[in-house]
Structure 1
Amino acid sequence: MTPGRRSSTFTRLLRHGFTAPSAAERLLDSAELSPLRDDPVLLEALGATADPDLALHGLARLLEAQPDPTAHRELLDTLTAAKPLRDRLLGVLGASAALADHLARHPSDWQVLVTYEPRDLHPGVEEFERGLEAATDPISLRVAYRRCLLSIAARDVCGTTDLAETAAELADLATATLRAALALAGAAAPEDAAACRLAVIAMGKCGGHELNYVSDVDVIFVAEAAEGADEGKALKSATRLASHMMRICSETTIEGSIWPVDANLRPEGRNGPLVRTLSSHLAYYQRWAKTWEFQALLKARPVAGDATLGQAYVDALEPLVWKAAERENFVADVQKMRRRVVENIPAAEVDRELKLGPGGLRDVEFAVQLLQLVHGRTDLTLRSGTTLDALQALAAGGYVGREDTARLDEAYRFLRSMEHRIQLYRLRRTHLVPEAEPDLRRLGRSLGLRTDPVTELHREWKRHTGVVRRLHEKLFYRPLLDAVAQLAPGEARLSAAAARERLVALGYADPAAALRHLEALASGVTRKAAIQRTLLPVLLGWFADSADPDAGLLNFRKVSDALGKTPWYLRLLRDEGAAAENLARVLSAGRLAPDLLMRAPEAVALLGDGDGGSGGLGPRDRAQLEQEILAAVGRAENAEQGVPAARGVRRRELFRTAAGDIVSSYGTETSPAEADQGALVDRVGAAVSDLTAATLAGTLRAVVRDGWGDTLPTRFAIIGMGRFGGHELSYGSDADVLFVHEPQDGVDEQEAAAAANKVVAEMRRLLQLPSADPPLLIDAGLRPEGKSGPLVRTLKSYEAYYRRWSLVWESQALLRAEPVAGDEDLARRFTELIDPLRYPEHGLDDEAVREIRRLKARMESERLPRGADPRLHTKLGPGGLSDVEWTVQLLQLRHGWREPGLRTTRTRAALAAAREAGLLSATDTAVLDEAWVLASRVRNAVMLVRGRAGDTFPTEPRELAAVGRYLGYGAGHAGDMLDAYRRTTRRARTVVQELFYAAGT
């Protein structure tokens, strides 16, 4: 070739899409291809393929492999004369290196592409069976299978068939192959074939008539004994036949494998028998099957073996499939399985996953299947195993909006086409988008993207996954709004019955009320209604993910009625990503947070920042709280106005704390072990304790200012006790306190005492006045002499009492004493006074230890409510709060005098200090800490859910489920939660028995 001609050819090759024109020139100069070197039609045909370089290389190999000159000339002549063959052959060679390899091994198979008659366009099972009928062993079956696959691929890459037709042809070829493999297995063991009736049920994409090029073929086997045969022996025969059939398809030989046959969708999965009788299948699905197993049965289709038995299997199970939506937690189970699939994708692959990643194929399939199961109970038109057919049926019935249907259909077809082309290249099972530029270029060109294939591919891929991400959840909810808003005349919409049916499946107990709320929120042409129509599809999904969707929707309507005309409210929900989800979680999590919000709806503004930072839902420190409350009290005219102002701040901050707790606990469904439960408990305890202290400080300031101006006749301090002193208050805790005073210089003791008592009485009165704000109960029951003793004592009186009369239980109670408000110097001196009592030098004597044990035993026997299950009582039950706290406090009383780390009012800090001091093993410390944290979390959950304090798990199912959701347990797993609680506290009780009750300690 002359330099001029080489330069001209080089340029033409570049223009036709070759990326390695020099190598292409050398191939065109080879003996095999030289007759075609200057054929412009050939170059144009090569340029039309996905990868011209790959196509030319494959063609060279095919020509070189021809067995003789005659065959070589025949192929050349046909390529030159027959455009259909040229396009199909080169199209396959440019898209599939694996099929090029097949043609190089079987050089005459190109002739299956010659026929171009109407009957060749869309072959079915019978045509494929004829293509496989000559196969007499597994190897020849593989060759015949690839030959059939070659014709499917040719029609696909040339656009003769569309995505749905190609997927159906692949499923039909799989059906024919399963039949051929079963026939081979039967021929190898005729006695087994005679002993049983065996049916093969296709599942998954094969059953749905939408198979990939390379995919596991999911099957279930059902068998019966042949007439006169023993059932046990027949099942063994059927199992041998099924196993042999699977090996024929799955084993790798010199011709590769066909595809793995996967029977793991059978009852009990890989742990169950490979083959069952029909009655055994039916018994399993009636008693044991999980929701996902009924979802899988949507695509069940008999494909091989005994056709009558196969149809009997489908007919018997079909009624159970269409009752699946009536199962408790149906939607939650389906969505949880979808989330689990996504969570198991390696992080490095999530963004490349076509099938399982966010916005991928599985999102479309799950959404369609869920709607089928919900509405297919009454609408037989929805009972298709094919995703695209089912989607169109849903649209025709008004179950999915037409626009959403069209966009999902387009996205699904594009993503499946990507998947097909990726798999076709090497005939390998993969759903990952390649990363190398040559692979992306070939992929883009195979989809018709020619200007800038790589850039265009990324743009289209991301556009379609974005569409799926936005629609796959809204798909359930948007038609509900269309059904009530009635803004699109002529658009098919859900009937009232279908809307109620869908809401019930989504977990709404009162669908009629839910529809009324939706109509009130979404109807009309106002800006408010328009924004809420945009928000509600997402909010409804979050409500449905909770234990009480009805409450979530009702509460949202109440908040919207209160704030809907406030400009910033809807803007906050629309523009701040976290705000809408946080609001949905808070409104559907129980009674406490919504009740607090309804009393001051403007607090919804706090929900815009859910990251636990300094703003939004992050707890504020005590100094900030006290400063704001004192300022509010200072602006009030008197204590009657000042204390309500302080209580208003407390209400808002309680909402902030509760909302932050809910968002942290409910935001993602994780297993209980995955969250730092201790940190959540500590945050709530510190926040509520600081807020209580600041409220008391503000109330004290208001009362003193009203009665005495700037100077009270006596110094006055409030000492926190119990959980308050330990920074461990829960939402429903009273404030245990001691009051101490000391007369100012020159003030009569009686006058000082009268003033101190008046302060206490007025504080208690004002904090308990009926109002919209939650009350703050002050409990001084831990004072000397208990209820019989004076509410307030001087420092000298405390000193005299403790010196002469103090009992061991009072020393124990003082372990939690910490100043919270009032005169700091007086509080410091009180602390100095009690330190020798709570950390007695040389610890406790044996009699004191026995007394503590007697007190605890009496408390448990007298205070445990009648009829309560002790194992589930968080405070007094075995391994509960009391067990852990008394064990820790005994260690503090015995060793606090010589171990400074034990001199803390906080239980968890004392536990850690005991471990550091060698008083507890790391294992025992972890067991006690876990039990204490869990019991505290349960108490917080009960208050959040029920709106009132409680020490036991709720018995009402929805409330129990809501507590479980707070603790990290998904729908339907309340039993797991109770089992875990009993298990955790049982371990703790064992440690307590050794540490608290052991003899001689």
Structure 2
Amino acid sequence: MAPGRRSSTFTRLLRHGFTDPSAAERLLDGPELSLVRDDPFLLEALGATADPDLALHGLVRLLEAQPGPTTARRELLDTLIAAKPLRDRLLGVLGASAALADHLARHPRDWEALVMYEPRDLHPGVEEFERGLAEADDPVALRVAYRRCLLSIAARDVCGTTDVADTAAELADLATATLRAALRLAAAAAPDDAALCRLAVVAMGKCGGHELNYVSDVDVIFVAEPADGADEGKALRAATKLASHMMRVCSETTVEGSIWPVDANLRPEGRNGPLVRTLSSHLAYYQRWAKTWEFQALLKARPVAGDLELGAAYIEAVEPLVWQAAERENFVADVQKMRRRVVENIPVSEVERELKLGPGGLRDVEFAVQLLQLVHGRTDASLRSGTTLNALQALAAGGYVGRVDAVQLDDAYRFLRSMEHRIQLYRLRRTHLVPVAEEDQRRLGRSLGLRADPITELNREWKRHAAVVRRLHEKIFYRPLLDAVAQLAPGEARLSAKAARERLVALGYADPASALRHLEALASGVTRKAAIQRTLLPVLLGWFADSADPDAGLLNFRKVSDALGKTPWYLRLLRDEGAAAENLARVLSAGRLAPDLLLRAPEAVALLGDGDGGGDGGTGGGGSGGLQPRGRAQLEQEILAAVGRAESVEKAVTAVRGVRRRELFRTAAGDIVGSYGTEARPAEADQGALVDRVGAAVSDLTAATLAGTLRAVVRDGWGETLPTRFAVIAMGRFGGHELGYGSDADVLFVHEPRDGVDEREAAQAANRVVSEMRRLLQIPSADPPLLIDADLRPEGKSGPLVRTLNSYAAYYRRWSLGWESQALLRAEAVAGDEELGRRFIELIDPLRYPADGLGEDAVREIRRLKARMESERMPRGADPKLHTKLGPGGLSDVEWTVQLLQLRHGAAEPGLRTTRTREALAAAREAGLISEEDAATLDEAWVLATRVRNAVMLVRGRAGDTFPSESRELAAVGRYLGYGPGHVGELLDGYRRTARLARGVVDELFYGG
């Protein structure tokens, strides 16, 4: 060949994807291809294959092997040149499979199987494959015929005539035909045995599911019955011989290799059990001994060979057991545990390359789909498919899986199965490991249509799909709702009218007729929304019933569902997102406050997706997701931004109230969810943590609300700068970070004229700010009110609402009383001018932490004031022992005792200089001012009283200091505090006991014994 021509060919070969163009040139110049070396279509067809070098080498071998070289070779070459379909099919197979190239080299006329493609040949079934295997009269001939059929499947696959699902189905049909042919050979070899028994071969696994790989064990179960008049023992022995012979025909290695192993280890008792059993023996085993995984395996059972009537009887008999498996104890946990065990057993060196068993692999999709099938398929026959992709499509159609999730899983599964097919096709070896060699990855990438940069694109797409599978597997496979649905009886899961009514009565619904109407409204019809509701409601009914008022829970759920019914993310969230459905059920049935807040802002349902603060699904939750309260800085940032966007001061405060509403719901929902989960009372540490979390969250939210309202008022009246510096000082529970859901905001207002501003002008501006803030926050609204209470200011209600810093200093220097020093113990700057707030705190520190402590006169005055307060403020008719604020051992007792310690010792003990009651109590214990036991007694009483007040607000929707008298409300308070149904008496006795012990400590420490 001339040098110029050689250089041109070399370049063309590189352009067409050859990696060894020198070797390719030599092959093209050889005698075998002399007739077609200049044909541009041949080079183009080679370049379109997965591995052009491999395809060219395979073509030369095939031409060399042709019998009567000249005539046969010319026939093949002429056909290649004239028929593009054959050219693409043959070269496509040769470029993807070295094993099939070897087969063609041994059987050079088998290329003719690829010549014709009639429409009926595009998707051949079992009968077509049986015809292709019909003449095979020994195991060797069967292997040759099997590979010839495999050629046509591979050709359709690599040319894109069939997709991966069709290819897998064709491989399963070929396996079915092969099992039939193998059984025919076994029966021909032992006709006496065949006459004694009826033998059915039931395919399992991927063959049973019509989704077989190119190279895979074919899992089977054998069922036998005696032929008419035959002895059962003899029939079983004969059937066992036939089954064993059939397995050898397929599995043993001959000069033509093997077909695939036939694996019967999924049978009862596995490899230790008899190979063949009667139908009754199978049933007895499954009814008594079978493990969860065995029922999961039976999902794909399908009769394929032998006595198909007996095989159908086997399926009919075991099918009810499969769909009862989800009712087994720990069913969902067992399936999940089995999946984890599979991953744990993968060698560490292979786990990242494991396409089938590794995280994000094919088994993740299959296990997730099968678990959903077994749980929901009990009542929905449309889900009972043995084919993964068909079952996934049915799950999506029924609303059990989100449409987008289903599409993503389908895409990922198809891609990963395509990878698996092409990896196995190369050498026809059973492997699920992604190769590491560059040439193998390059061929694999090109076989999947990735041509620009095959290796990089392959790894990127593989990792992308694996990540999708892993994420959705975790989301679906470990969905809490699944376990709850699995525990329902079939009648309950179906939610039929009769079963629903019976269940409502059994669960304690007071008005089952109304509840049934709600269920009908929510779940009737054929819409996707109704289908998802039918999945959710049976479980929600049980969760509602785990409350004091299940009827209210169901009614509230209907209201929320009506409000959000057309919102696409709502039901998807409840079905898919962690514990969202259970959290919603708890919240809606726990009282009035949280449902009322939610019904005014239904989009806040998104917050329930993660009780531990893990994301709100991007559905309008506002900031950090979940039920974890947001910090003051984050709240202020959002609120001030909303104020800045508002067109008027009223709209600004409306926006501020909207944030407050949502965040109150977040806090209340987190409080309710955190209080559930045990029949016994929560641990004391858990109760304390819940109290601290609520107190801090509501206090931070109140501070941010005041800061936003202040900014709105200043902007509306003066632009960006007020004529006087202005600060808000929190007092009482507000300053102590201990606000409850219904607490007022005790505050002081302080200002200081800016340089050059007249004091009168400054005072007018400050007073106008206070008046406007109070007006705006008291505009009638359905939200819980936020009342600003400034009665702790100097001179009380008779004094000015706002003073200058110097005026405060003069008053405290001359007129301050003991109770005012005590009140200032909880003062903390929360809004406005930070520097002014800091200076105010510096001003009052000497008053609240007096250097010389307290004299006895001052102590006696504090005691006198407390006694008078208890006698004057206790509501008439109230039981003092159950009054959480003023009663013996209540909040007032504990707080005044702690505050007396702060006034006496705060100057000497830095730890006491805190506005928080529990922190001060802990500091007093550390300083040795109170014993460990007494401190624990006071802390328990304070926490319990605070929780009772929070519970009353959550249950009734309005604040209260005593236990409700209405039985359902009292039961709801008890449920919040960890007391189950029928234990309300224990709740009241427990409170009295805790308060009595605390009062004993108060008598000694506060009143001096």
Per the alignment, residue 27 of structure 1 pairs with 27
1:289–1:193 distance in 2 versus 1, CA, 3 Å: same
Relative to the length of structure 1, the TM-score reads 0.57
Match of 2:763 in 1: none
Structure 1 partner of 2:44: 44
Matched position secondary structure for 1:238: helix
Letter in 2 for 1:205: K
2:534 matched to which residue of 1?
A: 498
Q: Which amino acid aligns with 1:34?
A: S
What root-mean-square deviation, in Å, do the aligned CA atoms of Structure 1 and Structure 2 show? 5.1
Aligned residues: 664
CA–CA separation in structure 2 for the residues paired with 1:38 and 1:515: 79
Q: Which residue is equivalent to 2:615?
A: 574
Residue 18 of structure 2 aligns with which residue? 18
Which residue is equivalent to 2:578?
540
Alignment of 1:558-957 (within 5 A): 573-574=614-615, 590=678, 592=682, 595-602=687-694, 766-767=938-939, 769=941, 771-772=943-944
| Cα deviation, residue 518, structure 1 | 7.0
Q: Which residue is equivalent to 2:436?
A: 435
Query: Cα offset for 1:450?
Result: 1.6
SS in 2 for 1:313: helix
8 Å CA contact retained: 2:209, 2:386 = yes
Q: Aligned partners of 1:771 and 1:270: how far apart in 2?
A: 61
Shift of 1:417: 1.3
Distance across 1 between alignment mates of 2:675 and 2:447: 49
SS in 2 for 1:32: helix
Give CA deviations for 1:400-442 in whole Å, capped at 9, x if unaligned. Answer: 3333333322222222111111111111112222222222221
In the superposition, the TM-score normalised over structure 2's length comes to 0.57
Hey, what does 1:105 align to over in structure 2?
Answer: 106
Per-residue CA deviations over 1:341-391 (Å, capped at 9, x if unaligned) read 222223333332222223322222222222322333333322221122222
SS at structure 2 position matched to 1:101: helix
State the one-letter code of the partner of 1:108: R
- Give the AA of the match of 1:16: H
Residue 76 (structure 1) aligns with: 77
Give the aligned partner of residue 223 of structure 1: 224
**CA shift at 1:581, angstroms?**
11
Matched-pair contact (CA < 8 Å) for 1:479–1:494: no
Tell whether the 8 Å contact from 2:251 to 2:259 is kept in structure 1 after alignment.
Answer: yes
Q: Name the structure 1 match of 2:356.
A: 355
Give yes or no for contact 2:94–2:101 (8 Å, CA) kept in 1.
yes
- Return the offset for 1:235: 1.4
Other structure's SS at 1:108 match: helix
The C-alpha deviation readout for 1:496-529, integer Å capped at 9, x for no partner, is 6631477489999879999778778888579xx9
What CA distance in whole angstroms lies between the structure 2 residues aligned with 1:423 and 1:11?
32
> 3-state DSSP class of the match of 1:267?
coil
Distance in 2 (CA, whole Å) between partners of 1:241 and 1:412 is 37
Shift of 1:142: 1.2
Which has the higher Rg, Structure 1 or Structure 2?
Answer: 2
Q: Confirm or deny that 1:380 pairs with 2:371.
A: no
Task: Give 1:540's aligned amino acid.
Answer: G
Looking at structure 1, the residues matched to 351 and 553 of structure 2 have their Cα atoms a distance apart, in angstroms, of 36
Shift, 1:100, TM fit: 0.6
SS of residue matched to 1:304: strand
Contact 2:606–2:617 (8 Å) recurs in 1: no
Deviation at 1:332, TM superposition (A): 2.4
CA distance, structure 2, for counterparts of residue 164 and residue 453 of structure 1: 23
Q: 1:218 to 1:241 in 2, by over 3 A?
A: same
Q: Tell me the distance in 2 between the aligned counterparts of 1:343 and 1:557.
A: 47
Q: CA-to-partner distance for each residue in 1:461-501, whole Å, 9 max, x for gaps?
A: 233223333333545879999x99999x9972343663147
Who is 2:339 aligned against?
Answer: 338
> What are the equivalent positions in structure 2 for 1:111-510 lying under 5 Å apart?
111-475=112-476, 492-495=528-531, 498-500=534-536, 503=539
Percent of residue pairs identical? 67
Q: Which amino acid aligns with 1:274?
A: L
User: In the aligned structure 2, how far is the partner of 1:515 from the partner of 1:408?
Assistant: 34
SS at match of 2:346: coil
- Cα distance, 1:316 vs structure 2: 0.8
Q: Secondary structure at the match of 1:100?
A: helix
Cα gap change, 1:339/1:553 in structure 2, threshold over 3 Å: closer, same or farther? farther
Q: In the aligned structure 2, how far is the partner of 1:172 from the partner of 1:506?
A: 46
Alignment CA distance shift 1:501-1:389 (3 Å): farther
Give the Å deviation of 1:9: 0.6
Distance change (3 Å), C-alpha of 1:555 and 1:632: closer
Contact 1:484–1:518 (Cα < 8 Å) also in 2: no
The alpha-carbon distance between structure 1 residues 760 and 190, as it changes in their structure 2 partners (threshold 3 A), is closer
Per-residue CA deviation, residues 545-571 of structure 1 (Å, 9 max, x unaligned), is xxx997799899999999999999899
Separation (CA, whole Å) in 2 of partners of 1:603 and 1:98: 72
Counterpart contact for 1:375–1:501, Cα < 8 Å: no
In the TM superposition, what is the alpha-carbon distance from 1:44 to its structure 2 partner?
0.7
Aligned mates of 2:253, 2:580 — CA distance in 1: 47
In structure 2, list runs of 5 or more residues that go unmatched. 486-518, 619-623, 629-669, 698-735, 739-817, 828-894, 910-921, 948-975, 980-1009
Contact 1:354 / 1:415 at 8 angstroms: preserved in 2?
yes
**Equivalents in 2 of 1:509, 1:223: separation in Å?**
50
Task: Decide whether aligned partners of structure 1 residues 120 and 406 sit closer, same or farther in structure 2, where only a CA change above 3 A counts.
Answer: same
Separation in structure 2 between the aligned mates of residue 141 and residue 504 of structure 1, nearest angstrom = 57
| SS of aligned partner of 1:352 | coil
The Cα of 1:538 is off from its aligned counterpart by 5.7
Question: Is the contact made by 1:549 and 1:588 (CA closer than 8 Å) also made in structure 2?
Answer: no
Contact 1:112 1:151 in 2 (8 A): yes
Is the Cα–Cα contact under 8 Å of residues 553 and 590 in structure 2 kept in the other structure? no
Cα-to-partner distance string for 1:598-630 (whole Å, 9 max, x where unaligned)? 43445999xxxxxxxxxxxxxxxxxxxxxxxxx
How many angstroms apart in 2 are the aligned matches of 1:370 and 1:273? 29
Code of the aligned partner of 2:170: E
Note the C-alpha offset of 1:206.
Answer: 0.6
Which whole-Å CA distance do the structure 2 matches of 1:442 and 1:485 have between them?
57
**Cα distance in 2, alignment partners of residues 553 and 427 from structure 1:** 58
Letter paired with 2:160: G
Partner of 1:86: 87
- Conserved in 2, the CA contact under 8 Å of 1:197 and 1:225? yes
Whether the 8 Å CA contact 2:29–2:37 is kept in 1: the answer is yes
Contact 2:532 2:571 in 1 (8 A): no
Give the secondary-structure state (helix, strand or coil) at the position aligned to 1:425: helix
